Amino acid sequence: MIDPREIRKDFPILEQQVNGRPLVYLDNAATTQKPRQVIEALVRYYETSNANIHRGIHTLAVRATEQYEAVRGKTAAFLSASHPEDIVFTRNTTEALNLVARAWGDANVHEGDEIVLTLMEHHSNIVPWQQLAQRTGALLRYAGITPEGKLDLDEVRGLIGPRTKVVSVTHMSNVLGTINAVAEIGEMARQAGALMVVDGAQSAPHLPVDVEALGCDFFAFSAHKMLGPTGVGVLWARRGLFETMEPFLGGGDMIALVRQDESTWADVPHKFEAGTPNIADVVAFGAALDYLQDLGMGAVRAHEMALTAYAMEQLSSIEGLTMHGPERADERGGVVSFAMNPAHPHDIATIADGHGVAIRAGHHCAQLLMRHLGVAATSRASFSIYNDKDDIEALAEALEHVNRVFG
Ligand code: C6P
């Protein structure tokens, strides 16, 4: 069982006051705060182990390489993946999805082929596919959303057919909080001979994830949304898939042999990690994975689901407030988007900030979804392990103030 009060002691940034009130950080879907253990791992790496990896034979180079590669193993374990070589480190989810669209897409998607997406995707899971479609003449197909804010699975089923080459879906919406049936969709994709890509940016930080049980082909996420540093992303691929792909970027560390006119590639995963990677932040990400594994992802999910249920209950009693997304907390992650007309979401976030409560307002890089909802923006509160009921009550109090300001 998670005790947010104990956890909070590990997060120095949460000790401060903002606008004269204790900071209540509810913008965790954008990025989470970092525990002391992660910050110390970063400092310790630079103080004791810093060197370039995979190149040197001196002691520090070997030590840095071992630390970096150990996190590849921890990442595989976190995803219940059997092989650390199936993990490639990128800069973020966005780069991981671009890698798939370029390195796999360019070789496998052709004119007239179809790419199935959904209207609740983040721009990171739209734009790389649009670019691929523009390069190849492939077509984009979007599955819609039911009035309850769930993915329309019948529509997904109807869209997947013999021309479908790839289905790419978010595991959890960063706006609606909806948790999608990616295993079921993956099965539909497999039966059509298509590949299944899962954007796990919002799920990996908050739900137990077993990539092999999900049956997907690629799974992408970012360290910074799960207590880790910025600048580290992860792309997992099903066994053997990376071997069939050409590199995304060329340069040092990704080659076997370089000749004047051509080169051969290093083995997977190094083939996809050109140049000096973000060694220090990958090492510190290892501490974030340890932190989450020690808590247990089942406990993280249980805590955040209870908090979401409490937030939905509290917010539903605020006059004029409407929430987007599924009604049941067990069908969504710890994200609650809402409107309070006539207050603009930016005004709501500004008033909340005046109460020390950090929430996000905007289109959340999901403009297709905003258009579907018929709004320009939403206000969004999103939760993590250090949040508790008091934080939700502070948010509710700030939102009551919004109502007083806007009459
Ligand atoms: N969503 C949010 O506030 P990057 O920026 O590459 O680490 O993550 C991109 C991304 C991809 N997919 C989903 C579902 C996401 O939520 C995000 C990031 C942040 O909602 C920043 S816009």
Structural domains present in the chain: 40-293 (3.40.640.10), 296-406 (3.90.1150.10)
State if residue 92 touches ligand 1 by the CB under 6 angstroms criterion. Answer: yes
Residue 341 CB-density burial (10 A; 0-12 exposed, 13-18 middle, 19+ buried): exposed
State if residue 222 touches ligand 1 by the CB under 6 angstroms criterion. Answer: yes
**In the numeric block, which tokens belong to residue 23?**
């900071």
Q: How far is Cα 128 from Cα 104, in angstroms, rounded to an integer?
A: 12
Q: How far is Cα 175 from Cα 171, in angstroms, rounded to an integer?
A: 12
Q: How far is the CA of 32 from the centre of ligand 1 (A)?
A: 12
Active site residue 365: yes
CA-nearest of 81, 72, 132, 62 to 104 is 132
- For 312, residues 6+ apart whose C-beta sits below 8 A from its C-beta are 323, 327, 329, 336
| Catalytic hit among 365, 366, 370, 381 | 365
Q: How far is the CA of 30 from the centre of ligand 1 (A)?
A: 6
* Residue showing tokens 């030590």: 63
- Cis before residue 269, ω within 30 degrees of 0? yes
The continuous run of DSSP H or E covering 336 comes out as strand 335-339
Q: How far is the CA of 26 from the centre of ligand 1 (A)?
A: 15
State if residue 178 touches ligand 1 by the CB under 6 angstroms criterion. Answer: no
Q: How far is Cα 39 from Cα 362, in angstroms, rounded to an integer?
A: 30
Q: Whose CA is nearest to atom 17 of ligand 1?
A: 201
| Residue-by-residue pLDDT tens, the chain, 407 positions | 899 999 999 999 999 999 999 999 999 999 999 999 999 999 999 999 999 999 889 999 999 999 999 999 999 999 999 999 999 999 999 999 999 999 999 999 999 999 999 999 999 999 999 999 999 999 999 999 999 999 999 999 999 999 999 999 999 999 999 999 999 999 999 999 999 999 999 999 999 999 999 999 999 999 999 999 999 999 999 999 999 999 999 999 999 999 999 999 999 999 999 999 999 999 999 999 999 999 999 999 999 999 999 999 999 999 999 999 999 999 999 999 999 999 999 999 999 999 999 999 999 999 999 999 999 999 999 999 999 999 999 999 999 999 999 97
Question: What are the respective helix, strand and coil percentages of the chain, to the nearest 5?
Answer: 45, 20, 40
Answer yes or no: are the C-beta atoms of 220 and 234 closer than 8 Å: yes
**In the numeric block, which tokens belong to residue 213?**
């049980």
**In the numeric block, which tokens belong to residue 124?**
């990171």
Which amino acid type is present at position 47?
E
State if residue 201 touches ligand 1 by the CB under 6 angstroms criterion. Answer: yes
Q: How far is the CA of 106 from the centre of ligand 1 (A)?
A: 24
Looking at ligand 1, which atom is closest to the CA of residue 174? 16
For 81-194, list the strands marked E by DSSP: 87-90, 114-118, 139-143, 164-170
Q: What is the pLDDT of residue 407?
A: 79
Q: How far is Cα 321 from Cα 315, in angstroms, rounded to an integer?
A: 7
Q: How far is Cα 201 from Cα 199, in angstroms, rounded to an integer?
A: 6
Q: What is the pLDDT of residue 358?
A: 98
> What's the farthest any 2 CA atoms get from each other in the chain?
72
Looking at ligand 1, which atom is closest to the CA of residue 233? 7
Which amino acid type is present at position 322?
T
Looking at ligand 1, which atom is closest to the CA of residue 91? 6
- For 368, residues 6+ apart whose C-beta sits below 8 A from its C-beta are 119, 120, 121, 126, 142
Q: What is the pLDDT of residue 255?
A: 96
State if residue 364 touches ligand 1 by the CB under 6 angstroms criterion. Answer: yes
Q: How far is the CA of 261 from the centre of ligand 1 (A)?
A: 39
**Global confidence as pTM:** 0.98
Q: How far is Cα 390 from Cα 195, in angstroms, rounded to an integer?
A: 44
Q: What is the pLDDT of residue 94?
A: 98
